[in-house]
Amino acid sequence: MELLENPVRPYAWGSRTVIAELLGEPVPSTHPQAELWFGAHPADPSRLVHADGRRTSLFEAVHADPEALLGTERARRWDSTLPFLLKVLAADEPLSLQAHPSAAQAVEGFAREERNGIPRDAPDRNYRDPHHKPELICALSEFHALVGFREPAATLRLLRALDVPDLTGHVELLAAEPDADGLRALFTTWITLPQSMLDVLVPALQEGCVRLAGEADPDADFRADARTVLELSERYRCDAGVLAAVLLNRVTLAPGEALYLPAGNLHAYLSGAGIELMANSDNVLRGGLTPKHVDVPELLRVLDFDSGPPPVLTGSADGSWIRYETPAEEFLLRRHDAPVPTGVVVPDGGPRILVCTAGAACLRSPAGDLDLPRGASVWLAAADTGLTVHSRVPGTQLFLAGDALG
């Protein structure tokens, strides 16, 4: 077991307080801090902090001796790579609308772009690796997101409450086919509109949202939807993603609640802090609310237009831990909250990363102890078994990331 030093990604939508406070650094930070990465992603790996003070890239360490760090079976199963990437995500502004491909789509898309000679770092590259990217977000604070397509009947009620004459034909398009095919038709229409039409429709939608948000007693959900669309339209003027946002479920997570985002799920994180755990991939298909490349035909190939509210995960008891089950084999997230100082067993099984997000703890092994103040993290190789972690103050919170192979 070894402490980790972890990179901070300074995207413009990030917070100037959340990650800085977690790491005990000056607040506010000089630049927005959007994501704190824990893992062996080649673009920005964590570094192992050795007892003698040396630092080693976790990516390079896994590459040099995958069987020792991952275990023999897992090194074979995961092609000698760490299969997951753990993050603290801190959003003060909305992220782009995006979706991720399935495993089969990633393999096919990566091979196609390789054949076409598109450089892997090109801005118009969709598939930077041949892997899928399912992900889980667990809220650390109140967390707001747009996730998946809303049921068409509910979307029709919202669109009619907005009462935007310029959108009447679009509303009737969905009303004539209130199912997945109708959602596909309407989303495709909106995402492919010429800018001249977006310059008319988005301001008209804004006006409808202003009216609805200002009504004395509108449906509470509709008011929240209207305010979200207004916030997005102020940041992304006349962007097709503003129209698309009307079609999506707006979800608010309380701390400890989580969402699993499978392949094809169109989503955008709006605000809040959370622990994000995902397969170790860079494959993203964007759908708007961004100046970055949007490949509409490829996005439409991967999107899942099945509708309905996304299930909110609260986790299930796993000894002294809360375990978040998902269909993904690449990752499994556990959470431990200690209202009073106590010691708990750290589950064994493959490589793991342990992070202290509140309070302070001590990790104990036959080889010695490691202190884990708030913000600290530790790498546990497959051979690091028989460990216990002891919270030192009330309110200590720990997250443990690993794979789901058992």
Dump pLDDT digits (tens) for 110-150: 999 999 999 998 999 999 999 999 999 999 999 999 999 99
**Percent of the chain whose predicted confidence (pLDDT) is above 70:** 99
Q: Is the pLDDT of residue 189 over 80?
A: yes
Q: Is the pLDDT of residue 181 over 70?
A: yes
Q: Is the pLDDT of residue 250 over 90?
A: yes
Q: Which residue has the tokens 């495709």?
A: 188
* pLDDT tens-place string over residues 360-393: 999 999 888 999 999 999 999 999 999 999 999 9
Phi first, then psi: give them for residue 397, nearest 5 degrees. Answer: -130, 135
* Mean local confidence (pLDDT), 394-405: 97
Closest Cα to residue 1, out of 362, 391, 311?
362
**Percent of the chain whose predicted confidence (pLDDT) is above 90:** 92
286 is catalytic: yes
Helix (H) or strand (E) holding 285: strand 285-288
The pLDDT score that the predictor gives to residue 214 is 81
Q: Is the pLDDT of residue 221 over 80?
A: no
The active-site residue out of 286, 335, 352, 374 is: 286
Q: Is the pLDDT of residue 217 over 70?
A: no
Provide the 3-class DSSP secondary structure of residue 257: coil
The pLDDT score that the predictor gives to residue 222 is 87
* Rounded CA separation 381/182 (Å): 49
Q: Which long-range contacts (CB under 8 A, 24 or more apart) does 318-327 make?
A: 318/347, 319/344, 319/345, 319/347, 320/344, 320/345, 321/347, 321/400, 322/256, 324/136, 324/138, 324/258, 324/260, 326/134, 326/136, 326/260, 326/404, 327/134, 327/260, 327/262
The pLDDT score that the predictor gives to residue 367 is 84
* pLDDT tens-place string over residues 14-65: 999 999 999 999 999 999 999 999 999 998 999 999 989 899 999 999 999 9
pTM higher than the cut 0.85? yes
> Taken in order 75, 76, 81, 83, is the CA torsion positive or negative?
negative
Q: Is the pLDDT of residue 289 over 80?
A: yes
The pLDDT score that the predictor gives to residue 216 is 64
Closest Cα to residue 253, out of 269, 277, 233, 235?
269
Q: How many residues does the chain have?
A: 406
The pLDDT score that the predictor gives to residue 218 is 63
Higher pLDDT, 287 or 218: 287
Hey, what domains does the chain have and what are their CATH numbers? 7-69+84-146+253-302 (2.60.120.10), 156-245 (no CATH), 318-402 (2.60.120.10)
Mean pLDDT of the chain: 95
